[in-house]
Amino acid sequence: MKKIFWTTIFRLFIVLAFVWYLRRFDSGLSQDVSKFIWTQIVCDQNVDSENLLLLSEQLREIKLQLDKMSDSWDKTDETQNDLEVLWPKTVNLYYFNQLEDAKLPVEQQLNSSSILAVPRVISDSKNIIEDTINLLLEWNLNSAERTAGFTSEFPNQDFRLISSELKSDWTLELRFNEVMWFTSWWSARVFILKASIEKTAKQFDMVKSVKILPETLFQP
């Protein structure tokens, strides 16, 4: 009897792992397999009520652990899928617009409301945020956009994005290299550079806040 009981436990653990695997790809098939397991393996076994109760409790614990693993993996997959784009997607690059800024009262000029969107199309991106930031740094504005008042301190061939990481709390960490005098000096210029990067990053729903590294990068 004891041998039968532990054999049943082992068999059910293997099958439950299989059911959990199916659930990630075909939930309907998973439910059918679960019903079959209970009726054919558990109910048909010659196990007394005490051992059956113990068996049920252990199965519930196994299922709980498998569900936790599945949920953790699903969240990771969801974040990765949000960043990956396998079709053309329109994104915005945010640059300072001198003409629009000049329309504001003097005391309101040089603020984030004058940093406006320029649309671009990206396709087949494995990391849409990182690719968008890299496009921002390139500053490939056409003549019409320049005539419309868009300008920037970008590009600088030495200034580049080193890495990007989206944290579990939806904070985006962007690490850049340091270029002497490029991200310092005039306070308004530094503000525009930083705000352009932040507004470009925050257009994505998964980004709730932006942390630029090193933290001393944009200092007047």
Per residue, what are the HEC states of 139-163?
Answer: CCCCHHHHHCCEECCCCCCCCCEEE
Q: Domain check: are 94 and 159 in the same one?
A: yes
Torsion of CA 25, 31, 32, 33, to 10 degrees: 70
| Rounded Cα gap, residues 178 and 161, in angstroms | 10
Q: How many domains does the chain have?
A: 2
State the pLDDT at residue 128.
Answer: 96
What are the pLDDT digits (tens) for 163-179? 999 999 999 999 999 98
Q: Domain check: are 127 and 69 in the same one?
A: no
Domain end (from 62, 83, 104): 83
| Of 160, 88, 182, nearest in space to 128 by CA | 88
| Rounded Cα gap, residues 33 and 104, in angstroms | 67
Contacts of 22 (CB under 8 A, 6+ apart): 29, 30, 33
Q: Does residue 155 belong to any structural domain of this protein?
A: yes
User: 119 lies in which domain range?
Assistant: 89-213
Q: Does residue 27 belong to any structural domain of this protein?
A: yes
Domain end (from 58, 83, 108): 83
Q: Domain check: are 73 and 163 in the same one?
A: no
Domain end (from 29, 49, 83): 83
Instruction: Write down the residue that tokens 């039968």 correspond to.
Output: 4
Q: Does residue 66 belong to any structural domain of this protein?
A: yes
| Rounded Cα gap, residues 200 and 129, in angstroms | 9
Q: Domain check: are 76 and 125 in the same one?
A: no
Indicate the pLDDT class of residue 143, thresholds 50, 70 and 90.
very high
| Of 42, 41, 30, nearest in space to 66 by CA | 30
Q: Domain check: are 97 and 182 in the same one?
A: yes
Indicate the pLDDT class of residue 53, thresholds 50, 70 and 90.
low
The top-scoring range by mean pLDDT among 18-32, 34-48, 138-152 is: 138-152
DSSP one-letter code for 106: G
Q: Are the CB atoms for 208 and 170 separated by under 8 Å? A: yes
Q: Does residue 103 belong to any structural domain of this protein?
A: yes
Average pLDDT over residues 185-199: 90
Q: What angle do CA 178, 181, 186 make, to 5 degrees?
A: 125
Lowest-confidence segment of 12-16, 42-46, 54-58, 81-85 by average pLDDT: 42-46
Q: Domain check: are 13 and 67 in the same one?
A: yes
Query: What's the whole-model pTM score?
Result: 0.64
Please say if the pLDDT value at position 8 is more than 70: no
Q: Domain check: are 112 and 203 in the same one?
A: yes
